[in-house]
Amino acid sequence: MSTIVIIGAGKGLGAAVARKFGAQGFDVALISRTQSNVDALAADLQKAGVNARGYAASVRDADALTTALDRAASELGPIDVLEYSPIPQREFLRPVLETTRADLAAAVEFSVLGPVTAVGHVLPSMREQGLGTLLFVNGSSGARPNPNVAGTSIAFAGESAYAHMLHTELAGSGVHVAQLIIPGAITPGHPTHDPDVLADKLWTMHTARGSFREVLDAA
């Protein structure tokens, strides 16, 4: 049985990705900051026939994040797919002239050090098996800086660079790295930005194993 870990799992995109991969036979590990939230989401997925479990961890807490990943691998099996898509916090979305050092430090912990921690923990097993997928999901500032959301623009740039370098270095290893850029809001019922449509897109990126980055049109 294959296992996907969804970091930043919530009722929108995370739940849709869990349903999509679960329907394809994956066990699902859900990671977010609040245990009650991931437990409720896991219960809903279980009712839909998806084997899902929830693990509480902040992506800014390396020890908590690696502990959650270890528990997921122990209880569900080796991690074959990691999807990283936590929603940025409000303080990361300030204009550049109002953005402080503390704001940037938090944003970098969230969008650079968090992914580095998670990938560093699951990648050795993927490389040993010769297969795996690392999926990164970002807003439009991951591809084009926006001075109105300086924290995410700077931190997403670092995350994008890290993911792109992984894509290059792991080519031919069996481990695929890809990034989906979603401009605008994720909106139920939207033809391109509906959570289920986006989950289908991430499934295709996992299976087709094509180019590094896909950018959706603005919502």
**What's the CA gap between 138 and 116, in Å, rounded?**
15
Q: Which residues contact 199 (CB under 8 A, 6 or more apart)?
A: 13, 16, 17, 19, 20, 21
The answer on pLDDT for 22 being more than 80 is: yes
CA angle 133, 53, 142 (to 5 degrees): 40
pLDDT digit string, tens, across residues 164-209: 999 999 999 999 999 999 998 899 999 999 999 999 999 999 999 9
Which pTM was predicted? 0.95
Task: Give the pLDDT confidence score for residue 92 in this predicted structure.
Answer: 81
- The token pair at 168 is 């290059």
Whether the CB-CB separation of 80 and 132 falls below 8 Å is answered with: yes
Give the torsion sign (CA, 170, 201, 15, 50).
negative
Neighbouring C-beta atoms of residue 191, cutoff 10 Å = 9
d(CA 151, CA 89): 10
Question: What's the CATH number where 187 sits?
Answer: 3.40.50.720
Residue 1 has pLDDT above 80, yes or no: no
List Cβ neighbours of 61 (8 Å cut-off, separation of 6 or more): none
Give the range of the structural domain holding residue 42, as residue numbers without chain letter: 2-215
Percent of the chain with pLDDT strictly greater than 70? 100
Domain count, the chain: 1
Write the pLDDT tens digit of every residue in 114-145: 999 999 999 999 999 999 999 999 999 888 99
